[in-house]
Amino acid sequence: MTERNLGTDYWDQTLASFFENGSGDPWRVFCDQLHLRLIADWIGDSKVGLALKTDLFDESAGTGLVAALALNAREVHAIDFSCAVVAQAATKNPGGHFVTADVRCLPYEDNSFDLVVSNSTLDHFPSNADIVSSVEELYRVLKPGGRLLVTFDNMANPILALRHALPFAFLNRLGLVPYYVGESVTPAGLQRLLSQCGFKTEHTAAIMHAPRTMVVPVCHILRGRSPQVLRRLLRLMAAFELFGRWPTRNLTAYYTAALAIKPQTRPE
């Protein structure tokens, strides 16, 4: 991927072109489902106090996770770099505590949140240094004992590694990459990153095993079809999640995921 200067305008425009191409993409519905399952498996029904979500693209472009998080949290706050994304998400979720902000420099006090959910927000930066500063920022705003549920594009998947090596403009023209994707991590790299920033990893998972290069064009063709067709497609995509139990899971997963805790005292 070539390095790009990603201002807020870039993400405003990304949302606009997403709607020009038609909303209701089954791929996004499936992404929401997988992340909701992770939240259910790792957080369960326990009450979580204050929660923060680190981008609002899912809520703007589809249903997203905020409404589900609000069922068990006292308050859900969320940020996004793009004013257009925040505005669209706010229209769909009236009363949400949403602000335009940069995840690398959050407008919250230290030790504010009990839970942070960051699904594929931190893999859109051109440099690893930005990833590290974002995770340190998430550590700062979490309370001791607070948890971070994070997913990243999985760089151990050879297809994603190849995508990373190819020019973004070319892949974007083919419709294989809808928006800029930046540096990311392998599953082992994610654990190292979390530990380097002071977190203790409690769970890891490898999710989204449906082959994207095949599924995305099918999703595009079936966009707007009947709910039965959509359900069948989602069931088919879900069937690939069986690969998440295989020893090869880190090679086939699109996302690497972790649940990490901020310890009561920062380890040396």
Ligand X SMILES: C[S@@+](CC[C@H](N)C(=O)[O-])C[C@H]1O[C@@H](n2cnc3c(N)ncnc32)[C@H](O)[C@@H]1O
Task: State the residues that interact with ligand X by CB under 6 A.
Answer: 11, 14, 31, 55, 57-58, 79-82, 85, 102-104, 119-121, 124, 179
* Three-state SS at 27: helix
Q: Which is nearer to ligand X, 34 or 194 (CB)?
A: 34
Rounded Cα–Cα distance for residues 214 and 157 (Å): 15
Contacts of 15 (CB under 8 A, 6+ apart): 57, 60, 61, 82, 84, 85, 88
Rounded Cα–Cα distance for residues 166 and 174 (Å): 12
Q: Which is nearer to ligand X, 59 or 114 (CB)?
A: 59
Cα angle value 206/210/214 (rounded, 5°):
145
CB 266, min distance to ligand X, A: 24
CB 265, min distance to ligand X, A: 28
CB 182, min distance to ligand X, A: 9
3-state helix, strand and coil shares in percent for the chain, rounded to the nearest 5: 45, 20, 35
Q: Which is nearer to ligand X, 62 or 247 (CB)?
A: 62
CB 77, min distance to ligand X, A: 13
DSSP letter, residue 185: B
CB 104, min distance to ligand X, A: 6
Contacts of 127 (CB under 8 A, 6+ apart): 182, 183
Encode 16-39: b = buried (16+ Cβ within 10 Å), e = exposed.
eebeeeeeebbbbbbbbebbeebb
* Three-state SS at 100: strand
Rounded Cα–Cα distance for residues 52 and 19 (Å): 26
Q: Which is nearer to ligand X, 11 or 98 (CB)?
A: 11
Q: Which is nearer to ligand X, 124 or 262 (CB)?
A: 124
Q: Which is nearer to ligand X, 121 or 252 (CB)?
A: 121
CB 162, min distance to ligand X, A: 20
Q: Which is nearer to ligand X, 76 or 103 (CB)?
A: 103
CB 268, min distance to ligand X, A: 30
Strands 75-80, 50-53: parallel, antiparallel or unpaired by DSSP? parallel
